[in-house]
Amino acid sequence: MPPVDWEDAWRKRVTPWDEGRSPPALRRLLAEGRVPSGRVFVPGCGAGYDLATLADSERVVIGLDVSIDARAAFVESHKDLPGPATYEVGDFFTYDPTGAFDFVWDYTFFCALDPGQREAWARIMSRLVKPNGLLATLLFPYADPIPPNASGPPWPVNTDLVRGLVKDEFELLEVTEAEHTHPGREGKERLALWRRKGRD
């Protein structure tokens, strides 16, 4: 696969992944009170639906995307937010925030990356998530096993694939199949929650 030119895709608004709203699994996690308060980060946040969903007066919510046009799409479609949210434009692989996060939400960011970038993704996640903080990966498109000739993006993903990358720094708390999701994604999403190991 040639590398994806995300900025070009956003400039031309060729964004077939964009579902126009947050996935039900995120809204459910919030409704169940399972999203920690404090500092929250959404990498590869695109038009920022998840950023807006997470915005809340108890949280400092930061989204990041490499495309300035993605940020423009966020600003256009989110005039009134329930709480403060900051949308930064930059590259995840060189991102250097002022502090680590209590909660990081990855939906369709990991699967969008070139497989050669996955180890760096895991290294950076262990720097971005505070000890005892939570990394939530809503894994899509879920495939077990991953077909040998898989192509992407989106690249098929599963829990073992992510576990292999993060196991030294994170413990898996649970994996659940998303009961409700966007039309066409049914049965292809699993929510995996990873706790960053503490430093005793």
Site for ligand SAM in 48-67 (CB under 6 A): 64-67
Task: Please state whether 11 falls in left (phi above 0), alpha (psi between -120 and 50) or beta.
Answer: alpha
The correct pick among 87, 103, 109, 194 for binding ligand SAM (CB under 6 A) is 109
How many chain residues interact with ligand SAM (CB under 6 A)?
Answer: 19
Q: Which is nearer to ligand SAM, 127 or 132 (CB)?
A: 127
Half-sphere exposure of 186 (CA within 13 A, CB side): 3
CB of 65 to ligand SAM, least distance (A): 5
β-pairing verdict for 85-89 and 101-107? unpaired
Q: Which residues contact 31 (CB under 8 A, 6 or more apart)?
A: none
Site string for ligand SAM, 120-139 (x = CB under 6 A): --------------------
Q: Which token pair is 126?
A: 């262990």
93 part of the interface to ligand SAM, by CB under 6 A: yes
96 part of the interface to ligand SAM, by CB under 6 A: no
CB of 152 to ligand SAM, least distance (A): 10
The 3-class secondary structure across 140-157, one letter per residue, is CCECCCCCCCCCCCCCCE
Query: How far is Cα 163 from Cα 36, in angstroms, rounded to an integer?
Result: 22
CB of 198 to ligand SAM, least distance (A): 28
Sequence letter at residue 55: A
Query: How far is Cα 6 from Cα 17, in angstroms, rounded to an integer?
Result: 12
CB of 59 to ligand SAM, least distance (A): 18
CB of 149 to ligand SAM, least distance (A): 21
Distance between first and last Cα of the chain: 43
CB of 196 to ligand SAM, least distance (A): 21
Site string for ligand SAM, 16-35 (x = CB under 6 A): -xx-----------------
44 part of the interface to ligand SAM, by CB under 6 A: yes
Query: How far is Cα 150 from Cα 115, in angstroms, rounded to an integer?
Result: 11
Phi first, then psi: what are they for 46, rounded to 5°?
55, -130
Positions touching ligand SAM (CB under 6 A) are 6, 17-18, 43-46, 64-67, 70, 91-93, 107-109, 112
